[in-house]
Amino acid sequence: MQVPGYKAASDELRAKGIDEVLVYCVNDPAVMKSWAKDQEIAGSLVTFFADQSSVLTKALDVELTAAGPMRALGNPRCKRFAMYVEKGTIKHVAVSETADDPTGDSDISASAATGMLGCL
């Protein structure tokens, strides 16, 4: 959902000084490598990596532990979010979630490329 939007907005993002978009998931590296191939990110400004043990997810306090997703997924995942970081300083964080939709599936706008472009 979000990756194609960031790929499509690459020129706008670069124009605003963004040199890389990092995408990570609470998953293993093999899954992320396969997903990267599927999303055709090679040569784009998007880079995928895995947070297999949720170390980064927990440190950023974006662990998805809502009961519904936990029943479906079986283990904690990461909330759908985007973060703008400049020279190691977090400038903006946007989480796509509501009380009724903790995964942010119904409205990704806050963490989508268009949402982030609006805050740059």
Model pLDDT for residues 5-39, shown as the tens digit of each residue: 999 999 999 999 999 999 999 999 999 999 999 99
Is residue 2 very low, low, confident or very high in pLDDT (cuts 50, 70, 90)? confident
- With respect to residue 23, please indicate whether it lies within any of the assigned structural domains: yes
pTM, entire model? 0.86
- With respect to residue 62, please indicate whether it lies within any of the assigned structural domains: yes
Task: For 42-99, write each residue's pLDDT tens digit.
Answer: 999 999 999 999 999 999 999 988 888 778 877 888 999 999 999 999 999 999 988 8
- With respect to residue 93, please indicate whether it lies within any of the assigned structural domains: yes
Residue 70 has a pLDDT of: 77
Question: Could you give the number of structural domains in the chain?
Answer: 1
Range of the domain at 58: 2-115
CATH of the domain at 16: 3.40.30.10
- With respect to residue 53, please indicate whether it lies within any of the assigned structural domains: yes
Burial string for 13-39 (b: 16+ CB within 10 Å, else e) reads beeeebeebebebbbeeeebeebbeeb
- With respect to residue 120, please indicate whether it lies within any of the assigned structural domains: no
